[in-house]
Structure 1
Amino acid sequence: MNLNPFKKKKEIKKKGPVKEWVDAIVFAVVAATLIRWAFMEAYVIPTPSMENSLLVGDYLFVSKINYGPRTPKTPLQVPLTHAKLWGPLAAIPSYTDAIQFPMFRLPGLDDVERNDVVVFNYPPEFEHPADLKTHYIKRCVAVPGDTLTVVDSEVYINGKLGESPKNRQFGYQIVTEKTINERVFRKNNIWDINRIQGGYFVHARPEDAMKLKSLAFVQDVVKYKEPEGYVNRRIFPDASIYEWNADFYGPLVIPGEGLTITLDSMMVAKYGSTIRDYEGLDNVEMKDFQLYQEGKLMTEHTFSQNYYFMMGDNRHNSEDSRFWGFVPEDHVVGEAAFIWMSMDPNGGLLSKIRWSRLFNIIR
């Protein structure tokens, strides 16, 4: 070691402005990517399926640490993108699936519980890997082991009336010969409005719909429902076997890790597509209500992960588990935490921001 005190210190070469900017951008991208993956991510509500709890134009933060962040399945992708690039390049995938890793979930603070508002990857979108499927947001109404039934639009869990979201909505026909000013609807918290013959069809909370009934120019307010016995051909799991609809549904047991079922024709009709699509088995086919793996008939199956049943709070305007099935645990992204901004897409210059919704906790 040279201890000569008179030896000149090596000069530190200063970074140029371009290199400083590049270093700052790289650091910001890496930090944002890590925060987005492990802690919190921002989303915007594009559809009215969760109204009146969440409105179109609500910007919210979703917590990844509540349920635990997932390790990436598709590591080779452009940072801070999802499945597609931005702007004019939006048709181009932002990733390559040349390398695919198994997904694992790191420890979280809690499990998905009934009544949680959950962001997840849309299960039946098979064009993208699981971690890059389109994000949906719904309310979890049933967890593994629950028996779910819907009777006259009301959700029952294990034979008891389930907890009702405060702001849930249903479809109503407003019978009137008059034109109702939009301000009247907005005053009564009604945003989803359609003019039909003989009046309007709206989605509203029951108490708000009944307020309209008191107006002198409204003849009646009639709640919409699919009648008992009517078969909705789009219903999950299989309308040819289970003659259900969105308002009279079930009973349906929600599968969970460790549950073993015998694969008779009724069970295959109910759970066959879930086993084929989400249980990670190779070469599974479903034919004539029987399951085959590698050409061999499957007689029983033990589920390898938990599943959840999700519904929108806007019960008659929501594409949810009633139509496309269970949400696998490995598709769960996080729990909606709070609204940090809300922009009314139909608002004017001075009413664009919904100030009363800023920083509202999501329940």
Structure 2
Amino acid sequence: MAQYFSILLVLITLGTGLVWLLDKLLWAPKRRAALARAEQAAGGELDQDSREKMLAHPSWVESCRGAFPVIAAVLVLRSFLFEPFQIPSGSMMPTLLVGDFILVEKFAYGIKDPVFAKTMIPTGKPKRGDIIVFKYPEDPKVDYIKRVVGLPGDKIIYRNKHLYIQPACAEGVKECPGLSEVTSVDKGKGEFYLGNFPLDRRTETLGDVKHDILLNYAFPDRVGEYFEQPGTRPDEWIVPQGEYFAMGDNRDNSRDSRFWGFVPEQNLVGKAVFIWMSFDMDRSPDSWLPSWVPTGVRFGRLGPIH
């Protein structure tokens, strides 16, 4: 849907821009020439009302002239700088909640054309711990949001709720890093639930990023549903070059790279950087209002995303 909107925005910008250009270079000079001929035929300058009528733009041209700079500014802002997204599910809890509205930095991983999403100017690569928005590999029309866990060349193991990473060995390095468990600190449970089960909240450190995750120790890992990479065990993966391994912070309620594989670099949309609005969606089933109507605003959640 977002891709279709981008294409529509480009077409509208081109259409209104073309009208603006034709009016500036062709139609406006013709109106001025017609005015000059009318004044010459009248033997002098016409009155102000007549001059304004002859020089006036047609209403549809005036609409396009007024809309063009606004639409062009929106196109530049949305395509190359920032794009708003809404969090639709709880897969990134507790970092992001249903009802959060976020800004995604589009230029974080390259400036791309708004139609074909091909990188025109490289600007950077995802880092471990980044929260990324990307085109879902199994259905590129759908936008997904997850956290980068594995970089190209990394070995990832997720076993019994424990995450292990062996970073890729840099070329020319004699001693490569070994496999190590990602550290996490217990913060208690009972704040969040999955059904009737209270979730354990832990603070995890991924690279330079500290963030909270949720775990349900009463819920076994769904190893039988994991994406199987040839040459590795069912709960192990080696990230190919040009791809990334991404997981949700709500580990037992997230369909992520464990289940469908890796995120190709060309699927990257941008980096989630800011919560600009957050609505509480906790409406009871017996309410006469639709479930999508907010019950309040969570002002305390506004700010940078970590």
TM bucket normalised to smaller = 0.5 to 0.7
- Conserved 8 A contact 2:200-2:216: no
**Paired letter, 1:205:** R
* TM-score normalised by L of structure 2: 0.64
Identify the residue that residue 234 of structure 1 maps to in structure 2.
225
Question: Are residues 167 and 113 of structure 1, via their aligned partners in 2, closer, same or farther at CA, if it must alter by over 3 Å?
Answer: farther
| Contact 1:49/1:317 (8 A) holds in 2 | yes
2:11 is equivalent to residue 20 of structure 1: no
Report percent identity of matched pairs.
32
Kept in 2, the 8 Å contact 1:203–1:314? The answer is no
Q: Which amino acid aligns with 1:139?
A: R
1:357 corresponds in structure 2 to: 301
CA displacement at 1:25 relative to structure 2: 2.8
Tell me: CA distance 1:26–1:203, structure 2 relative to 1, closer, same or farther (3 Å).
farther
1:321 aligns with 2:260: no
1:37 corresponds to 2:79: yes
Q: What does residue 161 of structure 1 align with?
A: 181
Question: Alpha carbons of 1:31 and 1:56: their partners in 2 closer, same or farther (altered >3 Å)?
Answer: same
C-alpha contact 2:247 2:256 (8 A) present in aligned 1 = yes
Structure with the larger helix share: 2
The alpha-carbon distance between structure 1 residues 168 and 23, as it changes in their structure 2 partners (threshold 3 A), is: farther
Question: What SS class does the counterpart of residue 120 from structure 2 fall into?
Answer: coil
CA distance in 2, matches of 1:201, 1:322: 22
The residue identity in structure 2 corresponding to 1:232 is: V
Equivalent AA in structure 1 for residue 218 of structure 2: Y
Name the structure 1 match of 2:30. none
Bigger relative CO (Cα 8 Å, ≥ 6 apart): 1
Q: Distance in 2 between matches of 1:317 and 1:222?
A: 9
Following superposition, the deviation at residue 115 of structure 1 comes to 0.3
Determine if contact 1:115/1:163 at 8 Å carries over to the other structure: no
> In proportion to residue count, which structure has more strand?
2
Q: Which is higher, the Rg of structure 1 or of structure 2?
A: 2
2:146 aligns to what? 138
Return 343-352 or 57-66, whichever deviates more.
343-352
How large is the Cα RMSD of the aligned pairs?
Answer: 3.4
- How far the C-alpha of 1:235 sits from its partner, in A, is 1.0
Q: Could you list the runs of 5+ residues in structure 1 that have no partner in the other structure?
A: 1-6, 75-102, 173-184, 195-199, 208-220, 257-305
Q: How does 1:93-242 map to 2 (within 5 A)?
A: 104-125=118-139, 130=140, 133-158=141-166, 159-162=179-182, 188=191, 190=192, 192-194=193-195, 200-206=196-202, 223-226=217-220, 232-237=223-228
Q: In the aligned structure 1, how far is the partner of 2:216 from the partner of 2:225?
A: 24
Q: Is the 8 A contact 2:281 2:294 kept in 1?
A: no
Structure 2 regions of 5+ residues with no counterpart?
1-43, 167-178, 204-214, 285-292
Q: Give the deviation of 1:344 after TM superposition.
A: 1.1
**1:55–1:350 distance in 2 versus 1, CA, 3 Å:** closer
Alpha-carbon separation, structure 1, partners of 2:114 and 2:269:
11
Query: Structure 1 CA distance, aligned partners of 2:270 and 2:94?
Result: 21
Q: Match of 2:112? A: 70
Match of 1:123, SS?
coil
TM-score (norm 1): 0.55
